[in-house]
Amino acid sequence: MKKFSLSKTVMYALISIYSAICFIPMLLVLMISITDEDAVLKNGYSLFPEKFSLYAYKLIFTGGSQVMQSYTISIFVTVVGTLLAILVTSMAGYTLANKHVKYRNLLALYFFITMIFSAGIVPWYMMNRMLGLTDNILALIIPSLLFSPFNLFLVRNFMNGVPDSLRESATIDGANDITIAFRIYLPLCTPVLATIALFYGLDYWNNWWNAIMLIDDQDLYPLQFMLLQLQSEISMLNEMTMLAGTSDMTLPSESVKMATAIVTIGPIVFLYPYLQKYFVKGLVIGSVKG
Amino acid sequence: MEKRQRQTFGMFMDIRKNGTSYLLVLPAMVYTFIFGYMTYPYMIIAFQRFNYTKGIFNSEWVGLQNFEFFFRSYKAVTVTFNTIFLNLLFIAFGTLTALVIALVLNELRKKLFVKISQSVMLFPHFISWIVVSYVLYAFFSMDMGLINKLLNMLGIASVNWYTEPEVWPAILTAMNVWKGAGMSAVIYLATITGIDETLYEAAEIDGANRWQMCLRITLPLMMPTVIILTLLSIGKIMYGDFGMIYALIGDNGTLYSTTDIIDTYVFRSLRQIGDPSEAMAVGLFQSVIGFILVFGTNAITRKFFRDGALY
């Protein structure tokens, strides 16, 4: 028989309450999204839907809707961007970890300076304008997101741990650096590549900064940015109908808004077990010693 | 002179010897050159009246006029104060919450419970601020939000939260803690896990209870990490979280008095008002102060915790 301990109980309660605080808001959004629109308008938002309805999701997933268009953009940008970013970062990481390259620390400094000192958003914007990275899909892939020195150093530190004898024996067998990097180093570094893939992937998926700065064309809106627009547009539309007194024509706005938010975090929920495992590992390494 | 020549020569030799290695790093170098080094010259437009058609070379020079305009307006004080004040709130409450959660989690021995609660409290970290703005709206909406419904049940009239600037520092702090404290707690917990087990064993032999161990072993040993992370945040105190503020506040001018930060101000000057020179001047002011702070805090970190310094 275990002894009842008051302090233990308090501690379990504390963590349970904090977890609930983290969880309930997301649950609320989910519940609103599956509530019938009339019920929402009559009773306000509620954790316990009075009348269940999947109408909002049906509306979202109808062909040709803006949500589907944005979803396609977001998926394309995330997949292509992440793959390119991993390629650029891991190749550079290989060189910085190559002990035969005499100036590897100078190279590291070259990347480090831009990490410490950024010119700010105005020069960034000017540069993108000059390169023509506005209003096209590349503007969502290339600026800011394609390469991060932080991830580079993460890869380099991991690759420093690969024994140099592997490289030497491969060199004796006549392999060049490209072969060594792609055939030996990258397969050995899958854990760190998985980590940076998640870092990059999440950055791409959640990014709307590039869109707000560089994209005006509605067909190119990524999901996050579309969600931002939706928030302001629908509330504006409702205000207008309220002013005009034509309240019989109500958009299924509340449930649709929340359903779109839920759809946006879908992939994150889906990948969550992996995210948690590798993300935390990477962050712990990065935050304690960058 | 000769030394430099030899160094250039040495680098040339190295590139010849390890050509393929340099080839592998080339894409990252070109990218960093374009989006890093080549952006620096644009900073001079802070001293111009920049015109997109005239470009950086032909725009008119106006000296410090852009800075004058900013500092003469009451906005300078407001946005600078808001940036620093909000960041201080975020750092203080975020660190405290994360620390308490980490220490408590460390005491709990039910593995499954710890694992599930960690998963739950990490989740907000992964969603974007825009999704968070929907969560916020679900609570604070004027006629449908949960908070007002709760107030109505208690017989209090509904409040239109989106027109009350005074409450927003508190709301923003709560949201910041909600989104980030779980992640910080997990990082702290990793530090605690790294503490040498034998210290606890020795303390147990000496008759210490869990509470004493927590206070005398865990807390002092994780302090360096806490202080380093806090100093790093203080170094970045001039930089607000644009994504957070813009997603939660947007263009709601009623709330600017307590929520407008340097980053949102710069954004508006650049994209909505269309005055890149003014935006750059404010951005430069932010960078200069920010740079001094980053250097200062890093110097302090390096002095007291050698391993924790950024460089």
Q: What's the complex ipTM?
A: 0.87
Range from A213-222, B51-60, B299-308 that averages highest in pLDDT? A213-222
- The Cα–Cα gap between A171 and A71 comes to 46
Residue B239 has pLDDT above 50, yes or no: yes
Instruction: Average the pLDDT over A174-203 and give the result.
Output: 89
Residue B131 has pLDDT above 90, yes or no: yes
Residue B7 has a pLDDT of 67
Q: In this complex, do B35 and A88 lie within 8 Å of one another by their Cβ atoms?
A: no
Of A129, A146, A176, the CB nearest to B31: A146
Residue A181 carries which DSSP code? I
Which residue in B has a C-alpha nearest to residue A18's C-alpha?
B121
Contact call for residues B101 and B121 (beta carbons, < 8 A):
yes
Residue A290 has a pLDDT of 37
Q: Which residue has the tokens 């080094």?
A: B37
pLDDT digits (tens, 9 = 90+) for B245-270: 999 998 888 899 999 999 999 999 99
Non-local (6+) Cβ contacts of B302 within 8 A are: B309
CB < 8 Å to A98, chain B:
18, 21
Residue A224 has a pLDDT of 94
CB < 8 Å to B37, chain A:
114
Contact call for residues B220 and A283 (beta carbons, < 8 A):
no
Using CB atoms within 10 A of its CB, is residue A235 exposed (0-12), middle (13-18) or buried (19+)? Answer: middle
- The Cα–Cα gap between B260 and B238 comes to 13
The strand ranges marked E within chain B are 48-49, 60-61
Give the phi and the psi of residue B277 in degrees, each rounded to 5. Answer: -65, -45
Paired tokens of B181: 């404290």
Residue A52 carries which DSSP code? B
Q: In this complex, do A177 and B20 lie within 8 Å of one another by their Cβ atoms?
A: yes
Q: In this complex, do A123 and B105 lie within 8 Å of one another by their Cβ atoms?
A: no
Q: In this complex, do B139 and A25 lie within 8 Å of one another by their Cβ atoms?
A: yes
Higher pLDDT, A85 or B212: A85
Higher pLDDT, B184 or B2: B184
Q: CB-side exposure of B107: number of CA atoms within 13 Å? A: 24
Q: In this complex, do B42 and A123 lie within 8 Å of one another by their Cβ atoms?
A: yes
Instruction: Average the pLDDT over A138-142 and give the result.
Output: 94
Residue A247 has pLDDT above 50, yes or no: no
- The Cα–Cα gap between B73 and B60 comes to 23
Residue A288 has pLDDT above 60, yes or no: no
Of B24, B29, B144, the CB nearest to A44: B144
Paired tokens of B202: 């020795």
CATH number, domain B69-196+223-308, options 1.10.10.10, 3.60.20.10, 3.40.50.620, 1.10.3720.10:
1.10.3720.10
Contact call for residues B210 and B202 (beta carbons, < 8 A):
no
Of B23, B266, B308, the CB nearest to A121: B266
Residue A252 has a pLDDT of 55
Instruction: Average the pLDDT over B95-100 and give the result.
Output: 94
CB < 8 Å to B118, chain A:
276
Tell how far CA B103 is from the center of its chain. Answer: 24
Residue B6 has a pLDDT of 66
Among residues A232, A180, A16, the alpha carbon closest in space to that of B101 is found at A16
Largest CA distance in chain B: 85
**Minimum distance, in Å, between the CA of residue B221 and any CA atom of chain A:** 14
Which residue in A has a C-alpha nearest to residue B144's C-alpha?
A44
Which residue in B has a C-alpha nearest to residue A22's C-alpha?
B121
Distance (Å) of CA B220 to CA A250, B134, B212, B300, B306: 59, 40, 12, 19, 17
Residue B128 has pLDDT above 90, yes or no: yes
Q: In this complex, do B287 and A288 lie within 8 Å of one another by their Cβ atoms?
A: no
Assign A1 a pLDDT band (cuts: 50, 70, 90).
Answer: very low
Contact call for residues A198 and B122 (beta carbons, < 8 A):
no
Which residue in B has a C-alpha nearest to residue A263's C-alpha?
B131
Contact call for residues A42 and A255 (beta carbons, < 8 A):
no
Residue B102 has a pLDDT of 93
- The Cα–Cα gap between B192 and B102 comes to 8
3-state secondary structure at position A225: helix
Q: In this complex, do B287 and A212 lie within 8 Å of one another by their Cβ atoms?
A: no
CB < 8 Å to B21, chain A:
94-95, 98, 100-101, 177
Residue B41 has a pLDDT of 92
Non-local (6+) Cβ contacts of A190 within 8 A are: none
Of B11, B39, B229, the CB nearest to A119: B39
Residue B96 has pLDDT above 90, yes or no: yes
Name which of A7, A14, A16, A18 to mutate to probe chain B: the one with the most chain B Cβ atoms within 10 A of its Cβ.
A18
Q: Which residue has the tokens 């005239």?
A: B54
Of B25, B113, B139, the CB nearest to A95: B25
Which residue in B has a C-alpha nearest to residue A205's C-alpha?
B128
Non-local (6+) Cβ contacts of B308 within 8 A are: A288, A289, B224, B225, B228, B301
- The Cα–Cα gap between B50 and B275 comes to 8
Q: In this complex, do B14 and A101 lie within 8 Å of one another by their Cβ atoms?
A: yes
Asked which of A20-24, A178-182, A263-267, B300-304 is least confident by mean pLDDT, the reply is B300-304
The pTM of this model reads: 0.88
Residue B3 has a pLDDT of 62
B61 beta partners: B48
pLDDT digits (tens, 9 = 90+) for B61-95: 888 988 998 999 888 999 999 999 999 999 999 99
Residue B298 has a pLDDT of 83
- The Cα–Cα gap between B46 and B279 comes to 8
Q: In this complex, do B117 and A209 lie within 8 Å of one another by their Cβ atoms?
A: no
Of A11, A275, A287, the CB nearest to B104: A11
Q: In this complex, do B18 and A208 lie within 8 Å of one another by their Cβ atoms?
A: no
Q: Which residue has the tokens 């750092």?
A: B91
Inter-axis angle of helices A253-270 and A223-244, nearest 10 = 170
**Minimum distance, in Å, between the CA of residue A221 and any CA atom of chain B:** 14
- The Cα–Cα gap between B180 and B240 comes to 15
**Minimum distance, in Å, between the CA of residue B232 and any CA atom of chain A:** 10
Range A64-251 has CATH code 3.40.50.300: no
Of A11, A123, A287, the CB nearest to B108: A11
- The Cα–Cα gap between B92 and B201 comes to 33
Of B10, B20, B105, the CB nearest to A178: B20
Mean pLDDT computed over every residue of chain A: 85
